[in-house]
């Protein structure tokens, strides 16, 4: 068994248990390539061990993670704290040889793969091992060891063989986790589940703001590090490290493989290829340098394989049941159109996806041999008009959505701002009779269950060509937070107005925080929407709010009273 950093396309091989004992030469090494670290910053509160502990040897203060499961392998991740001063972003610390092991049992009595990676300051002492040669659809345990110190033990799972007949796929689904907005109880509840194949993170894994910028005032629950807005490579590394000091986030990563894409806040609010709403070149420097730093830190700190384009668009297969296309809707898009300018919104020369990605997606959906075509989609594809919402809600909704109040009739940061790309994609689905396409979406801090027509004005007379399940935020503000009222007290008025004006929207919940559980079988794809009792409570409970499904061949959404248990 070997490890390599670059993705391989070898056919799966039958695993064999390896002899007990330490890893011996010759060893295969996987070294993550990255640029030099930024300037030293203040120590990372709560994430690094004390100086005394560090002097005793390396530690694994940021836990372990796995991701991007394949039929024959999975990507393993950790970060080594090698000694005093080697906090995230510092650029300090000597290289450390790190052994990894994969076993069939938690006690590592039957080790089936092992190897060595090297943690270096150039990669912020993060390491990845792209392990191959494992069995399809199999659970494994893994750990890292440095100078005799063991990391926490993680559990992961490989994907089914591409030709396998698969009865069921079950994914946890999350998005929009603002550290200062609350606690990550959603991650704790997902970590406790034993029925998930993976967790799908749809973007905004972290936020770039400085302390107290979002949320503001007494809505701030805890303090993110660094306390200023993150701009440099060192800043982004510190923020990633601080997020991964959270015990609930660590627990989720240790329990399930992660499948992740980025949205805007991994870079800066409302990012596009040439800038962002939350980027001022006069005070924050060159946008290209900032995005390069943000993406480098992301790939260092996340268990994600970059595509050949160095982005997060890629696809994963789960036997004959489902194929998951994962999109990057920040790296190639044109600037969001001018508020109220319909010509810009409909301009065929403007793009959200970029030509290469849109062609890749169209070809992949039309050619997929899988029953279900799932699309990990950072921003909502469904057409939604907000103009009918009573005026008193427009300001709070605009704040939630990150758009100017006067532009709320259409959210131009979504596919609504790039109608030609959407028309081309949805027309492609219709004309090529591509059925059972389900968009899985985050970003908007609300729960939605939508049918996706080619033209919303013709719905329901014209059949929809796809469906969409949108998951609310883990902690980021939604309507009740912005209005500073109790949940489910005023939102019903706005929700009813949205549904009345948008007949393809089957359900919208503007107040809740939580997570989803997507359950897929040959007959239907179903989303169970779980909501937290209180995002500001580290011990918050989770309750099933609603369940919606689309049955095979229908392209329709219906409420179901048979939730996944």
In a domain, 229, yes or no: yes
Q: Is the same domain home to 205 and 82?
A: no
Q: Is the same domain home to 311 and 368?
A: yes
Q: Which helix (H) or strand (E) holds 423?
A: helix 419-431
464: which residues sit within 8 A by CB, 6+ positions away? 451, 452, 453, 504, 555, 556
Q: Which of 231, 237, 249 is nearest to 290 (CA)?
A: 231
Residues forming beta bridges with residue 131, ordered by sequence position: 3, 74
Q: Given 107, 137, 157, which residue is the final one in a domain?
A: 157
Q: In whole angstroms, what is the distance from residue 324 CA to residue 197 CA? A: 13
Token pair recorded at residue 206: 């972290």
pLDDT mean over 229-249:
98
Helix (H, G, I), strand (E, B) or coil at 460: coil
Q: Given 100, 124, 157, which residue is the final one in a domain?
A: 157
Distance of CA 556 to the CA centre of its chain: 26
Q: Given the DSSP bridges, would you call strands 271-272 and 437-441 parallel, antiparallel or unpaired?
A: unpaired
Per 3-state DSSP, the chain is made up of helix, strand and coil in percentages (nearest 5) of 25, 25, 55
pLDDT mean over 195-205:
98
Q: Is the same domain home to 345 and 393?
A: yes
Q: Which helix (H) or strand (E) holds 234?
A: helix 233-243
Least trusted range by pLDDT, from 60-74, 118-132, 491-505, 508-522:
491-505
Per DSSP, 405 falls in state: G
In a domain, 565, yes or no: no
Quick: pLDDT tens for 439-473: 999 999 999 999 999 988 888 888 999 999 999 99
Q: Is the same domain home to 266 and 361?
A: yes
Q: Is the same domain home to 272 and 294?
A: yes
Q: What is the pLDDT of residue 152?
A: 98
Q: Is the same domain home to 145 and 210?
A: no
Instruction: Please check the confidence at residue 2 and state whether its pLDDT lies above 70.
Output: no
For 356-394, give the DSSP string: HHHHHHHHHHHH--SSEEEEEESS--S----TTS-HHHH
pLDDT mean over 160-172:
97
Q: What is the pLDDT of residue 181?
A: 98
In a domain, 545, yes or no: yes
Q: Is the same domain home to 118 and 149?
A: yes
User: Would you say 486 and 453 are in contact if contact means Cβ atoms under 8 Å apart?
Assistant: no
Query: Average pLDDT over the chain, rounded to whole?
Result: 88
Q: Given 157, 179, 198, which residue is the final one in a domain?
A: 157
Q: What is the pLDDT of residue 542?
A: 98
In a domain, 546, yes or no: yes
In a domain, 162, yes or no: no
Helix orientation angle between 355-367 and 419-431, rounded to the nearest 10 degrees: 20
CA 477-482-488 angle, to 5 degrees, is 90
In a domain, 163, yes or no: no
Helix (H, G, I), strand (E, B) or coil at 73: strand
Per DSSP, 458 falls in state: G
Q: In whole angstroms, what is the distance from residue 315 CA to residue 8 CA? A: 14
Per DSSP, 174 falls in state: E
CA dihedral 155, 161, 167, 173 (to 10 degrees): 50
Is omega for the bond preceding 205 within 30 degrees of 0, making it cis? no
User: Would you say 263 and 444 are in contact if contact means Cβ atoms under 8 Å apart?
Assistant: no
Q: What is the CATH number of the domain that holds 127?
A: 2.60.40.380
- Phi/psi of residue 115, nearest 5 degrees: -170, -170
In a domain, 180, yes or no: yes
Total domain count for the chain? Answer: 2
Q: Roughly how many angstroms between the first and final C-alpha of the chain, as a whole number?
A: 37
Beta-carbon count within 10 A of 54 CB: 20
Q: What is the pLDDT of residue 391?
A: 66
Q: What is the CATH number of the domain that holds 482?
A: 3.60.21.70
Quick: pLDDT tens for 87-97: 899 888 899 99
Quick: pLDDT tens for 5-26: 333 333 334 477 775 544 333 3
Q: Is the same domain home to 431 and 288?
A: yes
Q: Is the same domain home to 50 and 111?
A: yes
User: Would you say 338 and 221 are in contact if contact means Cβ atoms under 8 Å apart?
Assistant: no
Secondary structure string (H, E, C) spanning 95-153: CEEEEEEEECCCCCCCEEEEEEEEECHHHCCEEEEEECCCCCCCEEEEEEEECCEECCC
Q: Is the same domain home to 117 and 177?
A: no
Q: What is the pLDDT of residue 378?
A: 97
- Surface-to-core class of residue 29, CB atoms within 10 Å of its CB (0-12 exposed, 13-18 middle, 19+ buried): middle
Helix orientation angle between 391-401 and 491-501, rounded to the nearest 10 degrees: 90
Q: In whole angstroms, what is the distance from residue 104 CA to residue 517 CA? A: 26
Quick: pLDDT tens for 319-369: 999 999 999 999 999 999 876 666 688 999 999 999 999 999 999 999 999
In a domain, 87, yes or no: yes
CA 247-202-87 angle, to 5 degrees, is 40
Instruction: Please check the confidence at residue 53 and state whether its pLDDT lies above 60.
Output: no
CA 286-287-288 angle, to 5 degrees, is 95
Q: What is the pLDDT of residue 563?
A: 74
Q: Is the same domain home to 225 and 76?
A: no
Domain extent, residue 114, equals: 3-157
Q: Which of 69, 142, 63, 15 is nearest to 316 (CA)?
A: 69
For 466-529, give the DSSP string: EEEEE---SSS--HHHHHT--TTSSHHHHHHHHHHH-TTEEEEESS--EEEEEEE-SSEEEEEE
Q: Is the same domain home to 297 and 188?
A: yes
23: which residues sit within 8 A by CB, 6+ positions away? 99, 114, 115, 116
Q: In whole angstroms, what is the distance from residue 487 CA to residue 479 CA? A: 8
């Amino acid at each position: 068994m070997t490890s390599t950093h670059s993705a391989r396309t070898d056919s799966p091989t039958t695993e064999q248990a390896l002899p007990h004992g330490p890893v011996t030469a010759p060893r295969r090494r996987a070294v993550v390539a990255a640029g030099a670290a930024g300037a030293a910053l203040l120590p990372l509160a709560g994430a690094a061990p004390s100086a005394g502990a560090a002097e005793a040897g390396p530690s694994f203060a940021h836990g372990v993670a796995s991701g991007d499961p394949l039929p024959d392998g999975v990507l393993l991740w950790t970060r080594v704290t090698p000694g005093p001063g080697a906090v995230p972003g510092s650029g300090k610390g000597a290289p450390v040889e790190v052994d990894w092991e994969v076993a069939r049992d938690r006690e590592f009595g039957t080790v089936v793969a092992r190897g060595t990676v090297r943690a270096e300051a150039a990669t912020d002492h993060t390491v990845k091992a792209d392990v191959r040669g494992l069995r399809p659809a199999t659970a494994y345990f893994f750990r890292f060891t440095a100078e005799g110190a063991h990391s926490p033990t993680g559990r992961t799972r490989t994907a089914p063989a591409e030709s396998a007949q698969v009865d069921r796929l079950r994914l946890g689904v999350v998005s929009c986790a603002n550290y200062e907005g609350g606690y990550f109880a959603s991650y704790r509840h997902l970590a406790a589940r034993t029925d998930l194949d993976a967790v799908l993170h749809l973007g905004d894994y972290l936020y770039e703001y400085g302390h107290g910028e979002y949320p503001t005032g007494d809505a701030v629950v805890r303090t993110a590090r660094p306390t200023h807005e993150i701009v440099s490579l060192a800043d982004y590394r510190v923020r990633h490290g601080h997020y991964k000091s959270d015990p609930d986030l660590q627990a989720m990563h240790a329990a399930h493989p992660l499948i992740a894409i980025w949205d805007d806040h991994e870079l800066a609010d409302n990012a596009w290829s040439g800038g962002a709403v939350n980027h001022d070149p006069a005070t924050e420097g060159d946008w290209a340098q900032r995005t390069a730093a943000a993406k480098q830190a992301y790939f260092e700190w996340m268990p994600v394989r970059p595509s050949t384009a160095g982005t997060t668009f890629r696809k994963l297969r789960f036997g004959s049941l489902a194929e998951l296309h994962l999109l990057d809707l920040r790296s190639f898009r044109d600037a969001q159109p001018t508020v109220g300018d319909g010509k810009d919104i409909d301009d065929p020369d403007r793009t959200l996806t970029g030509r290469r990605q849109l062609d890749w997606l169209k070809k992949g959906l039309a050619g997929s041999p899988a029953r279900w075509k799932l699309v990990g989609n950072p921003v909502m594809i469904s057409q939604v008009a907000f103009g009918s919402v009573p005026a008193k809600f427009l300001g709070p909704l605009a704040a939630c959505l990150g758009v100017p109040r006067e532009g709320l009739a259409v959210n131009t940061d979504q596919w609504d701002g790039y109608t030609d790309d959407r028309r081309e994609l949805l027309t492609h689905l219709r004309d090529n009779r591509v059925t059972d396409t389900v968009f899985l979406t985050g970003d908007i801090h609300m729960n939605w269950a939508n049918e996706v027509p080619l033209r919303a004005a013709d719905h329901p007379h014209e059949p929809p060509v796809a469906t969409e399940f949108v998951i609310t935020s883990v902690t980021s503000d939604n309507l009740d937070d912005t209005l500073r009222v109790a949940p489910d007290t005023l939102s019903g008025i706005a929700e009813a107005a949205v549904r009345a004006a948008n007949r393809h929207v089957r359900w919208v919940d503007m107040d809740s925080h939580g997570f989803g559980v997507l359950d897929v079988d040959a007959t239907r794809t179903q989303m169970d929407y779980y909501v937290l009792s209180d995002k500001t409570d580290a011990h918050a409970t989770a309750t099933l709010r609603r369940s919606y499904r689309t049955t095979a061949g229908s392209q329709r959404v219906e409420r179901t009273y048979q939730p996944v248990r």
